[in-house]
Amino acid sequence: MESPDAGPACAAQGGDAASFAAPAERHRAGLRATAISLLGYRTGEVDDAAQDALITAFRGLPVLREPAAGDFVNPPSDPDHCPPTFAWLLRLREGRVARLGVAYGEIPRA
């Protein structure tokens, strides 16, 4: 079964930026939930992380090898073929969270 994101991902990869809106909105809640699990309930940071992840996914579309093969936000079963958004969210703890910890002191983990 083809992912509901396949058509919009292919269209966005082909230059139709507006087609990215539907999958972005569909995944917004899941991205926020993942960001909350990494950042805790810091609303501004969670929203920024989710938005940054969507921007990263959009920017990664031109190099996505198989946009019609499946969901470009959720993790695949093969870790060597990890979509840009999910990979970016997994790096939050080491990247942005670490920088925030340096700037503001220890950040409580969720």
Q: Model's pTM, two decimal places? A: 0.60
83 or 8, greater pLDDT: 8
pLDDT surpassing 60 at residue 97: no
The secondary structure of the chain in percent helix, strand, coil, rounded to multiples of 5, reads 65, 0, 35
Fold classification of 6-104 (topology level): Rna Polymerase Sigma Factor; Chain: A (1.10.1740)
For the chain, the C-alpha Rg in angstroms (whole number) is 15
Domain ranges of the chain: 6-104
Dist. CA 8–CA 96, nearest whole Å = 29
The tens digit of pLDDT for each residue in 22-53 reads 888 888 888 888 788 877 777 778 888 888 88
